[in-house]
Amino acid sequence: AQSVSQHNHHVILSEAASLELGCNYSYGGTVNLFWYVQYPGQHLQLLLKYFSGDPLVKGIKGFEAEFIKSKFSFNLRKPSVQWSDTAEYFCAVRAGTASKLTFGTGTRLQVTL
């Protein structure tokens, strides 16, 4: 069964700092990869997704992620965070043609002014 690891549980950054959140998965075959965000009091929203093609994926609000197959990684990046990026971020993977999505444990990002 596939699994997803997010090693950063809680990250605190100042505004304008650069962000990189790690995500590693364990599955040797074809994968679909996702990053979701949960702002305080709001429902989970899709930030970006990778299905195939260009491994560098751009999402909403200036976020991007790079799929590195050899490292089984899909790290999320943003060059300059804003206070409004304070939220919890979840990485998720779908293995092959499976219907279910497996989520990581999440990373809580706190951006200070």
Partner 1 sequence: DGGITQSPKYLFRKEGQNVTLSCEQNLNHDAMYWYRQDPGQGLRLIYYSQIVNDFQKGDIAEGYSVSREKKESFPLTVTSAQKNPTAFYLCASRGLAGGPGELFFGEGSRLTVL
**In the complex, which residues of this chain contact partner 1 (CB under 8 A)?**
6, 9, 32, 34, 36, 42-46, 49, 51, 90, 92, 94, 99-106
Shorter beta-carbon distance to partner 1: residue 17 or 21: 21
Which CB atom, from 2 or from 17, has the smaller least distance to partner 1? 2
Give me the least distance between CB of 85 and partner 1, in Å please. 19
What phi and psi values does residue 55 have, to the nearest 5 degrees? -70, -15
Q: Residue 97 CB, nearest distance to partner 1 (Å)?
A: 8
Shortest separation between residue 82's beta carbon and partner 1, angstroms: 23
**Strand 19-21, strand 73-78: pairing:** antiparallel
- In the complex, minimum distance from the CB of residue 15 to partner 1, in angstroms, rounded to a whole number: 26
DSSP 8-state assignment for residue 31: E
Distance, in Å, from the CA atom of 3 to the CA atom of 16, rounded to the nearest integer, reads 32
Q: What tokens were used for 103?
A: 């989520």
Q: How many CA atoms lie within 13 A of 102 on its CB side?
A: 18
Cβ proximity of 104 and 92 under 8 Å: yes
Structure token digits, residue 112: 């200070």
Which CB, 19 or 91, lies closer to partner 1? 91
Q: Which is nearer to partner 1, 3 or 112 (CB)?
A: 3
